[in-house]
Amino acid sequence: MTEPAVAARLTRELASALKHEELEGFYQDLHRRPETAFAEHRTAAKLALRLRAAGFTVTEGVARTGVVGVLGNGDGPVVWLRGDMDALPVREETGLPYASAVDGVMHACGHDLHITWLAAAAEALAAGRGGWSGTLVVVGQPAEEAGGGAAAMVADGLHARFPRPDVLLGQHVAPGLAGFYPHTPGLTMSATDDIDVVVHGVGGHGSRPESTVDPVVTAAHIVTRLQTVVSREIAAKDSAVLTVGEFHAGTKPNIIPAEARLALNLRSQDPRVRERILAAVRRIVEGECAAAGCPVPPEVTVRPGGYPVTVNDAVLDGEIAAVHRELFGPESVFDFGPAMGSEDFSLLAPEGVPYDYWYVTSTPPDVWAAAPGEDLFEKFAAVPGNHSPLFAPDPSVLVPGVLTLVSAALSRLGG
């Protein structure tokens, strides 16, 4: 480990070569041309091109569109830096001059920023090889947005084909007044599961409901009843969220359909809580269908590929937080606590390898100042966040987001 003051000093030396205008151009280009999960061909090619130019040995096509760059620089630790590449099926409403040119697709979670930071950090560290020793591995991951990208890279031999990491590092852009770098030791993000429900009824004409078993009404009762699971079956000290995100039924107003489909999302932070909620979902669905007289039992399916909790190594997080305090000031780093959001980042770490994942806040100062609320949490809830069609990070975070990665890597590489 390199001392925080030394890592910060080396980072400041490398920062002088960063050009905000160049970073902004690269970022805006990625933002204009977003690509969804496992379709990030253009984004991957641009990352690969920059890594090769910086001296990395680059492998493309890992898990279809993933990119891995390796830069050896003598004996020392192996440090992995990860950034995700995929965009979301969201129609952008920011009105930015560089808004998405792809209808219905947007970088609404900031992965365009992540790749900009990753590419620039890799270039800066490559240019500053005289100040560190070891091996730097840069991972451009596809399909983070519930696409199973991390698991797919591991299945494609990520851990066998490339140097085993001593540490895995990553970060995420987040809402909040630009200029802060939240760190949470231990549990920092929740597990997530997607659940499909099929309610089987008896279809018929809208004028003769007595001859049917209406799955729409039954599914509506299920939706309402599910709202009591967290509020009435889970202890107040335990955090969980259960959301019904999809409700599909019917084809015409005067036809009672034969089935209704729901899609649920569960966020949890404790395996026992997760199992209790899953059991409650099955019980409620089966109970409502039985009460309605459905002719066939319902189907409740937990989709494979859910994401686990993200648990930062507490010691490692404390050390990197110390570097960021040294670099940006003691007031810039704080513990926001565990979030209900989920990530597949931790799946990239081989068993036993510590990892750390932190945030870079990005709300423009004028947007933050105009947001209603008297304290941080009220304002945080009022500004556009990740997955919003209005999410527009302040370009002022371009250079700082590079420096957070560079300084974290330098703190772990050999001196």
Q: Identify the H or E element spanning 322.
A: helix 314-328
In whole angstroms, what separates CA 246 from the centre of its chain?
Answer: 21
In whole angstroms, what separates CA 368 from the centre of its chain?
Answer: 22
User: How many residues does this entry show for the chain?
Assistant: 415
Torsion angle of alpha carbons 263, 264, 265, 267, nearest 10°? -170
Q: Is the CB of residue 79 less than 8 Å from the CB of residue 169?
A: yes
> Which residues, 6 or more positions from 16, have their beta carbon under 8 angstroms from its beta carbon?
none
CA distance 122 to 410: 11
CA distance 339 to 410: 27
**Encoded tokens for 188:** 């920092």
User: Beta 259-268 vs 191-200: how paired, if at all?
Assistant: antiparallel
Q: Is the CB of residue 56 less than 8 Å from the CB of residue 163?
A: no
Ramachandran class of 176: left when φ > 0, alpha when ψ lies in -120 to 50, beta otherwise: left
Q: Is the CB of residue 393 less than 8 Å from the CB of residue 110?
A: yes
Phi and psi torsions of 50, nearest 5°: -70, -40
**Encoded tokens for 352:** 């036993």
Sign of CA dihedral 311, 317, 320, 322: positive
Give me the active site residues, please.
84, 145
